[in-house]
Chains A and B, each alone.
Chain A
Amino acid sequence: MAKTVDLIAETAEPSQEMQPRSLTSGVEALREEGAVLRIPNLPEGVDELPTEDETMIINMGPQHPSTHGVLRLMLELDGETVLRSKPIIGYLHTGMEKTGEDLTYLQGTTNTTRMDYLAPLFNELVFSLAAEKLLDVEIPERATWIRMLMTELNRISSHFTFLATNGMDLGASTMMIFGFREREALLAFFEKCSGLRMNHNYIRVGGVAADLPDGWRDDVLFLLDDLPERLIDYDTLFTGQTIWQERSQGVGVLTADEAIALGVTGPILRATGVPWDLRRTMPYLFYDQVDFDVVVGTYGDTFDRYAIRVNEIRESIRIVRQILERLPKGDYRVQDKKVTPPPRARIDESMEALIHHFKLFTEGLKVPEGEVYVPIESPRGELGCYMVSDGTAKPYRMHIRGPSFVNLQALPHLMHGGLVADAVAVISSCDPVLGEVDR
């Protein structure tokens, strides 16, 4: 007789919710207190552990406006002080990785682009780079430069959204209006290139979907002249402003060792002083050919995380200027008949072109067997794509290593001992995008 297995008990996850201390295991309590490299002591200002009827476990989110989407936090509070915290995710889970197994490599970018919706071009890029590594094709230079141009502009727009939401969370509504205003101009450029403000499906396996539109150079030059001027306003209003400094300095401090132990990447890691930027440490595209600085912070607090992003916008502008000078002419999609559909004019001329056109748009492009992991530096950190191909036109497995997801691990540590109001500052300075966290 086979042993009966209670499938529900075997597969069901235990409740994710935060329990009172008496019901929480030691490891779990340490995790919720944000212990990283040390046994957490009681937060400063708290002498002894309050009894359970003195503390309160409250929910923050998933509908709270400052949790950036549908992040749910459970906080154990002693008055205004956060003793333990637990991020609960999954409210935006749409099974995108599984969906990716059912879409061809041509369709795949329409799906991955929706993960980190503030930096859609990075999702498309990482998916395309992974598939291209398996295909072993050489991408035309113009395509690579266009990819760099678009992703750097996307980094700027993503950081402006961060500035907008960060400002709003801390009560600076001017910053929100400013941030979204600047972002809108960048989105107008994306709309002009790809026809869509977000979720562009512009970077494809093999190159980019379309060449840059007529008049694009004037647009980019306008942005390059306009944005630095506006950043001066940001510095006056916030970076150099006493109110802003006092609100954000020393809040949510993370040290370099802790950041590395938590697997944190991107501006949060760099704020602690670690110069880890994949564009510099593991160059992809042509980042080894452009000149830029990796911005690092000193204290690893909310202010540093803010200041790094402001200065990364300046570095991105510097990169875009160099791209404008170096952008070559030529093809912008690999001219491999098995990867790229033929030019539309060829469909009427050549039977073979028509067959390739039909094959590519129905069956898709076949990718050789193998598995790869490709990381890139998204505005939020290391964005990686792990892809397994079984030789068919659809990925056997497509996994995205979302920086927002990993960075969320740092929240309990950053919030431990802080005030509820500072918890808001901490979430916002981590800049999570829940579409990417849950996928």
Chain B
Amino acid sequence: MGYFEGFRVTFEQLFRPRVTIQYPEEKRPKALRFHGRHVLNKYEDGMEKCIGCELCAGVCPARCIHVRGLDNPPDAPVSPGERYGFVYEINYLRCIHCDLCVEACPTEAITESKLFEFSFSNRQDAIYTKDELLVADDGQPKHLPWEDWREGEDLHTSAWVRATAPNGDADYEGRVAWSAELGYGVRPPEAGQLGDDDAGAPIDDITVEQVAEGGHH
């Protein structure tokens, strides 16, 4: 093989689809299970899911979650349980997005959205308070001024909960094991191993082909 064979390879690239995209104007679709900024969910009746059990704070390997529970006021309960999350703070200067908090939460209160493009100009902004994490009255995550939300990124916030819900037990695949969310209802399970026989209905997700081929000219 001579030198010119090499030039042929690079020259051919001119006619292949471009794999790079014009970030940040354009963005690549994100995987369903993507780990991004957390949200605190609500039940469909508007009650908060968090019961202040501090399991998320206990499991966090980066020690970035601070939770304090308080007894529900009897006349105006915040959550359906005995207690509710009175203080809920996540320090995003520490968070490593491992999603162990999501797996630990017994009530599916904390899940992760697909947002990862947020930066702060001071440390105080990096500590998200309960007010900022809690979804709005329509079930949508709150959009803070320093966050770059794009369309569709607030959908499928609980994909990792659903992916890990069977915890390795094949009998529990394809079964709903989570409660409905305000604004979205009960989200469907992944088909899992059932999907291999086309018995289950697979959920739409990104494909590797999309990323590899790019498809932008």
Which residues does A use to contact B, with CB under 8 Å?
103, 106-107, 110-111, 140, 142-143, 174, 181, 184-186, 188-189, 191-196, 199, 201, 206-211, 213-215, 217-219, 222-223, 226, 233, 236-237, 240-243, 329-335, 340-348, 354, 357-358, 361-362
B55 contacts across to A, CB distance below 8 A: 358, 361-362
Knowing A206-B168, A210-B33 touch, does A329 contact B193 (C-beta < 8 A)? yes
B166 contacts across to A, CB distance below 8 A: 211, 343-344
A233 contacts across to B, CB distance below 8 A: 9
Q: How far is the CA of A357 from the CA of B100 in the complex (A)?
A: 12
Q: How far is the CA of A210 from the CA of B98 in the complex (A)?
A: 13
Q: How far is the CA of A228 from the CA of B22 in the complex (A)?
A: 28
A362 contacts across to B, CB distance below 8 A: 55, 58-59
Q: Is B34 an interface residue, CB under 8 A from the partner?
A: yes
B58 to A, closest residue via Cβ? A362
CB–CB A219/B9 < 8 A: no
- B interface SS class: loop
CB–CB A192/B167 < 8 A: no
Minimum CB–CB distance from B48 to chain A (whole Å) comes to: 18
Which of A186, A201, A340 has a CB less than 8 Å from the CB of B168? A340
CB–CB A110/B61 < 8 A: yes
A357 contacts across to B, CB distance below 8 A: 104, 106
Minimum CB–CB distance from A192 to chain B (whole Å) comes to: 4
CB–CB B207/A222 < 8 A: yes
B209 contacts across to A, CB distance below 8 A: 218-219, 222
Which of B3, B33, B34 has a CB less than 8 Å from the CB of A242? B3
Knowing A343-B169, A361-B55 touch, does A192 contact B205 (C-beta < 8 A)? yes
Closest 8 A-B residue pairs measured CB to CB? Answer: A333-B168, A214-B202, A345-B177, A344-B177, A185-B212, A107-B61, A195-B33, A344-B165
A219 contacts across to B, CB distance below 8 A: 207-209
CB–CB A237/B9 < 8 A: yes
Knowing A140-B168, A181-B19, A333-B169 touch, does A243 contact B61 (C-beta < 8 A)? no
A217 contacts across to B, CB distance below 8 A: 196
Q: How far is the CA of A233 from the CA of B1 in the complex (A)?
A: 12
CB–CB A213/B33 < 8 A: yes
Q: Which of A106, A191, A333: most chain B CB closer than 10 A?
A: A191
A182 to B, closest residue via Cβ? B212
Can you report 14 residue pairs joining A to B where beta carbons are below 8 Å apart?
Answer: A185-B212, A191-B31, A193-B33, A195-B34, A195-B35, A201-B98, A211-B173, A215-B195, A215-B205, A218-B209, A236-B5, A243-B6, A344-B178, A362-B55
CB–CB B61/A103 < 8 A: yes
CB–CB A343/B165 < 8 A: yes
Q: Mark B187-217, 1 if CB is under 8 A from A, else 0.
A: 0001111011000101101111111100000
Which residues does B use to contact A, with CB under 8 Å?
1-3, 5-6, 8-10, 19, 30-35, 53, 55, 58-59, 61-62, 96-100, 103-104, 106, 112, 159-161, 163-170, 172-173, 175-178, 190-193, 195-196, 200, 202-203, 205-212
Knowing A218-B207, A243-B3 touch, does A192 contact B168 (C-beta < 8 A)? no
CB–CB B164/A209 < 8 A: yes
Q: Which of A106, A331, A334, A358: most chain B CB closer than 10 A?
A: A331
A225 to B, closest residue via Cβ? B209
A218 contacts across to B, CB distance below 8 A: 207, 209
Knowing A210-B33, A341-B103 touch, does A188 contact B170 (C-beta < 8 A)? no
CB–CB B161/A344 < 8 A: yes
Q: How far is the CA of A357 from the CA of B168 in the complex (A)?
A: 14
Q: How far is the CA of A201 from the CA of B192 in the complex (A)?
A: 19
Q: How far is the CA of A392 from the CA of B96 in the complex (A)?
A: 25
Q: How far is the CA of A250 from the CA of B163 in the complex (A)?
A: 50
A211 contacts across to B, CB distance below 8 A: 163, 166, 173, 190, 192-193
A329 contacts across to B, CB distance below 8 A: 170, 193, 196
